[in-house]
Structure 1
Amino acid sequence: MRRIPYGPVRDGWQLTNYSLGLTYNDDVLPDGTAYSYWQEGPYYEFTAAEIEELEAATTALYAMCLEAGDWMAGQCPRRTAEGRRQGFFTSVCTADSCFLTRIGIPEYTHEQILRTWFDGDAETWTHRDKDPDGRLPMQTPDYSPTVYGRFDLWYNGAGTVPRLLEFNAQTPTSLVEGAVIQWHWMDQTGVAQHEWRQWNSIHERLVGWEDQPGEPGDPGAWRRNIAKLREARPWLPEKPKIYFAYETSETSGEDRMNVAYLMATAEEAGFPVELIAMSQIGWDVAGDRVLFVPGPGQEHRAEPIDVVFMLYPWEWFWHEEGGKAFFRNMADPEKRGTVWIEPPYKAALLGNKALLPVLWKLFGDDPERSKYLLPSYFAESSGAGSLRSYAKKPVWGREGGSVTLVRDGVPLTSTPSEYGADGRYIVQELCELPSFDGLEGTVHPVIGSWLIDGEPAGMGIREGLGTAGLVTTNTCNFVPHVVGIA
């Protein structure tokens, strides 16, 4: 792993990147400084062995996360048949008895968090009626599609082991630049002329590929997930329409373009699609249906939503007015409720920082698996006091907000934000990002390792400048990479 500071600079690269979907490249920092998110010129070069190490780490970490999800789900009283009998509005979870309640997840969401997590188990389906003998009637298992996710990893090349910093499980962005922009950069600059070239199969794993000589094809994440969904819900058409929703208050266009790219891959995979705003998702009170409402006063043109991808945090959604109705709709025992991609468990069990101390609790004593982890604890626990150098992170935080780095008991840098107002924090042993020489000073890269349908699929690199750059925030740059032969 080495940083090449003076790579080729393409003529008209800004317009090229814009035409490929990077419409949110130029921005202004709080101090008024204009900056370019994409860095044209510098790039990173990896060996094939280093990529194999990153792939192995990504595979191992995802397997550990699934085990951690099982553990967290198992700590909720609604995991049992008796817990599910209590009904939608009966409280059975407390901070002492339920891990989900302890980390701030409303109890009304727990049934569907568990149900979508344990889709293959018919006994986890939410039952509203009992037969005359008081037993829960059997229902067939459901299926809740999950398409993507991204691990943020510390890595410093050969001789080091990748370490998990956090898991962006539900709403990761930088997909356009990771899947598309850096691939075209590689082709246009010609900096890699050999077979490996770049660790980047994101697009192919989403869309699929045909059989090649000596290599079987793959239907891709969209076709594979929708096929499994139709097995559970055979009333769906062969190619159900997939809505793609984004939040319009994000004004840079980053959310819109990331969602638009995912929508384009689903369309390429053969599905009808439509791009909508979160504000266009409505509710039919009489029919208990989730609807697409084109605009104010156009309720007569509303369409039921059977399947929707939402780039919007579940932890925001379940605290908003109307959230209960959408979760009740998911609980329809006839399975006619809306299917949400990514499902609620992605935020509740995998996509928040509480995952980190759970991973350490489960695997901290396992040398083979703990090598990919950093000691992590809830901030109020006794274990937290054992760390003199650590990163303090809000359980519910995004884009590096409200993170504080402490080295040998002395604050190193912090990123104040609105996150963490609930007082829920974890601490993770400090592992400072690697340092490389950049044109403007020392830069610190973080590896974004992509998962498509649970499989390692590629890498994007973001880097921050100076001490403040030790925390990766939304102002950090994206830098492309290539893979060498050695």
Structure 2
Amino acid sequence: MRRERGVPRAGWEKTIEGQGLAYHRAAHPQGLSRPYWDESVHYVFSMAEVESLEEQVEELHAMCLRAAAHVVETGRFADFAIPGWAAEEVARSWERRDAHLYARFDLRYDGTGPAKLLEYNADTPTSLLESSVIQWFWLQDTHPGDDQWNSIHERLIDRWRALPLPPGPTHFAWTNMDETGEEAMTLAYLQETAEQAGLRTVAVAMEDIGWDELNRRFVDMDEQMIRSIFKLYPWEWMLGEPFGRHAVRHSTWIEPLWKALLSNKALLAVLWELYPGHPNLLPAYLDGPRDLESYIAKPLLGREGASMRVVTPALTQETPGSYGQEGYVFQGFEALPEFDGQRPVLGAWVIADEAAGLGIRETTGLITDDTSSFVPHRIELT
């Protein structure tokens, strides 16, 4: 694994916008000089590295599924801040093995040892379009003789074909709270893959979904029944809203309700309990940092690196945010590796239950937040 510099393609902004990355200008907070999509640099991997990472990702995913089973079997829903009224429905969703689509591991990896799990974005992961389409076309334009860890697009289409969905169109829901357009474009891309798989689809805003009390069903703006629906809207938000009590019992949701366990950072502590000392895990606890000299406190339901606190013998660093009311997990802290002053985090994609691709975000800080930039990668074949 190494970081290389290159010359951006002429007119790269219009190129990526034409390929769907319309939100790249708005993806960063204002005032940053570095663009969100940065093709002036990229990472290079060997095929052996990627094959090893694929194996590690699939093992981690299997471990996470076993951790979900453990939570359901032992009834540890309170550790995950699951409301008491919803716990039985989460368990039923798991026991039914409600079908799932995709997820993203965030990993620490420096090319010299096993990858370390930082968190699992298993409910509403983004940076998908960048990982799937945008960096693939970058590779074809700049290094056509090389390869890329990237079968995301094909696997998504195959997975849509395999999902046991009820008859009728599948709805795709975004939220009007999306200010950058990232969620809307991610949703549009996923909707396109579903259509390529032969599904009929309908787009709808979460805020426009109605509840038909008489017929006990969700409906869209045209009063059409919603039988199956993909959402980029977290389950923890849904469970905190009035219609959440209907949502857990009606319609086929993608991602399914049991994904609320895998997208919760309490999962990190359960994994460490079940697999203490595993080479792909960092120590993690729910009741405090215990004997950890260096640790990071992560809110169970935090997003975009907000409301985190890094504590080491040399420093304490916090990020702003309003998360944390539901509690924290305390995870052993290992700083991300440094390449030319930048710290990459590897986003390893899982489609269904198989490793599918890689996206990389960089930042200069210890915590990867909304100021990070996405950079492409390639597998060197020559």
Asked whether the two chains share a fold, i.e. TM above 0.5, the reply is yes
CA distance in 1, matches of 2:29, 2:202: 35
When the two structures are superposed, what TM-score results if normalisation uses the length of structure 2?
A: 0.96
Q: Partners in 2 of 1:409 and 1:419 — Cα distance?
A: 25
Paired residues of 1:21 and 1:257 also in contact (CA < 8 A): yes
Q: Does residue 323 of the first structure (1) align with residue 244 of the second (2)?
A: yes
Q: CA deviation at 1:273?
A: 0.6
Cα deviation code 1:58-102 (max 9, x no counterpart): 0110010011001111122xxxxxxxxxxxxxxxxxxxxxx2124
The 5 Å alignment of 1:280-319 reads 280-293=208-221, 301-319=222-240
Residue 45 of structure 2 aligns with which residue? Answer: 46
Q: CA deviation at 1:40?
A: 2.1
1:267 and 2:195 correspond: yes
Query: Match of 2:253, SS?
Result: strand
Decide which of 384, 387, 398 is 2:303's aligned counterpart: 398
Write the distance in 2 (CA, Å) between the matches of 1:149 and 1:28.
Answer: 20
1:55 maps onto 2:79 in alignment: no
* Alignment deviations for residues 388-410 of structure 1 (CA, whole Å, 9 cap, x no partner): 10111011111111111122263
Moved over 2 A (4+): 27-35
Instruction: Give the corresponding residue for 1:376.
Output: 284
Partners of 2:215 and 2:30 in 1: how far apart? 51
Give the secondary-structure state (helix, strand or coil) at the position aligned to 2:293.
Answer: coil
Pairwise CA RMSD: 1.5
List aligned pairs for 1:50-199, cutoff 5 A: 50-76=49-75, 99-119=76-96, 144-157=98-111, 159-189=112-142, 191-194=143-146, 197-199=147-149
SS in 2 for 1:59: helix
Q: Partner of 2:343 in structure 1?
A: 444
Over 3 Å counting, the alpha-carbon distance change for 1:271 and 1:31 in structure 2 is closer
Q: Name which structure has the greater RCO, CA cutoff 8 Å, separation 6+.
A: 2
- Output the amino acid matched with 1:471: I
Tell me the SS of whatever aligns to 2:342.
strand
Q: Match for residue 3 of structure 2?
A: 3
- Higher-Rg structure is 1
* 1:474 is aligned to 2:370: yes
Partner of 1:421: 325
**Equivalents in 1 of 2:272, 2:187: separation in Å?**
33
Work out whether residues 192 and 482 of structure 1, in 8 Å CA contact, stay in contact via their aligned partners in 2: no
Query: Match of 1:127?
Result: none
**3-state SS, counterpart of residue 260 of structure 1:** helix
Distance 1:392 1:434 in 2: 19
Q: Does 1:341 align with 2:254?
A: yes
1:214 aligned residue: none
TM-score normalized by the length of structure 1:
0.76
Counterpart of 2:212 in structure 1: which amino acid?
A: D
SS in 1 for 2:187: helix
Over 3 Å counting, the alpha-carbon distance change for 1:29 and 1:268 in structure 2 is: closer
Question: Conserved in 1, the CA contact under 8 Å of 2:211 and 2:217?
Answer: yes
Aligned residues: 382
Cα distance in 1 for partners of 2:26, 2:218 equals 36
> Could you tell me whether the CA contact under 8 Å between 1:389 and 1:408 is conserved in 2?
yes
Q: CA deviation at 1:28?
A: 8.2
Contact 1:399–1:473 (Cα < 8 Å) also in 2: yes
User: SS at 2:17's partner residue?
Assistant: helix
CA distance in 2, matches of 1:102, 1:164: 20
Percent identical pairs in the alignment equals: 43
Residue of structure 1 in register with 2:159 after alignment: 221
Gaps in structure 1 of 5+ consecutive residues? 77-98, 121-143, 208-219, 230-235, 294-300, 331-336
Q: Secondary structure at the match of 1:223?
A: helix
Give 1:316's aligned amino acid.
Answer: W
Q: Secondary structure in 2 aligned to 1:149?
A: strand
Counterparts of 2:329 and 2:3, CA distance in 1 = 32
- Corresponding residue SS for 1:435: coil
Please state how far the C-alpha of 1:443 moved relative to its aligned partner.
0.5
Report the alpha carbon displacement of residue 27 of structure 1 after superposing the two structures with TM.
Answer: 3.5
Equivalent pair of 1:28/1:34 in contact (CA under 8 Å): no
Distance in 1, Cα, partners of 2:318 & 2:30: 17
Whether 2:363 is the aligned partner of 1:458: answer no
Specify every segment of 5 or more residues in structure 2 that has no aligned partner in the other structure, as ranges.
Answer: none
Partner of 2:174: 246
Letter aligned with residue 3 of structure 1: R
Are the aligned partners of 2:172 and 2:187 in contact in 1 as well (CA < 8 Å)? yes
Partner-residue secondary structure (3-state), 1:401:
coil
C-alpha distance in 2, partners of 1:392/1:182?
Answer: 32
